[in-house]
Amino acid sequence: MHGIEEQIRQAMAEGKFSDLPGKGKPLDLAENPFADPDWRLAYHLLSTSGFTLPWIESRQEILAEIRAARFDLSRAWAWTIAAGNAGREPAYIQEIWLQAEEQFCQKAAALNRRIFSFNLQAPTHHLQVLRLNIDAELLAVQNQIPSTNKGIGE
């Protein structure tokens, strides 16, 4: 292996790679060189028409829904902390937070079902989506903005 690297360095020093076609131009990555040649035209038509493979669209939708669910939960926790700091009724704050938790749990359960179904369709395990760990998600959002009031979110 060392000999090959040395030969490449020597060729570069001698300028043997200086006049290659396309030098200084960006790579054309419009086509996947590893795609099945029988499917290249189909992939090209889909991509130029603004479409993608169904499993890719499904993955993008799932990831967007996960972001939205996390954002809603984070916003509810921020409101909970702000309401507590403003001196609002603790029982009321607790009730609102419990409703937000319940909504998140329902969304996460539905997302986990979709993720399970999607992962069965994904062509490789590297493209699969991790299921949501509901307890870890709740703990993570509560650790973003620690509560200064006892009893809120506990």
Question: What does residue 99 show for φ and ψ, rounded to 5 degrees?
Answer: -65, -45
Question: What does residue 22 show for φ and ψ, rounded to 5 degrees?
Answer: 85, 5
User: In this structure, which amino acid lies at residue 40?
Assistant: R
How far separated are the first and last CA of the chain, in Å rounded?
60
**3, 4, 23, 24, 115 from 7: Cα distances, Å:** 6, 5, 20, 23, 49
Under 8 Å CB-to-CB from 30, ≥6 apart: which residues?
A: 44, 47
pLDDT tens readout for residues 78-103: 999 999 999 999 999 999 999 999 99
pLDDT tens readout for residues 6-43: 888 888 888 888 888 877 788 776 677 777 788 778 77
Does this model's pTM top 0.85? My answer is: no
- Whether residue 71 lies inside any domain: the answer is yes
- The residue segments making up the domain with residue 117 are 54-144
Contact predicate 82/37, CB 8 Å: no
- Token representation of residue 65: 């829904």
Does residue 70 or residue 11 have the better pLDDT? 70
- Whether residue 42 lies inside any domain: the answer is no
- Whether residue 47 lies inside any domain: the answer is no
- Whether residue 131 lies inside any domain: the answer is yes
Q: Nearest to residue 96, comparing CAs of 78, 110, 114, 109?
A: 78
- Whether residue 140 lies inside any domain: the answer is yes
- Whether residue 41 lies inside any domain: the answer is no
pLDDT tens readout for residues 136-151: 999 999 998 776 554 4
- Whether residue 84 lies inside any domain: the answer is yes
- Whether residue 99 lies inside any domain: the answer is yes
Number of structural domains (the chain) is: 1
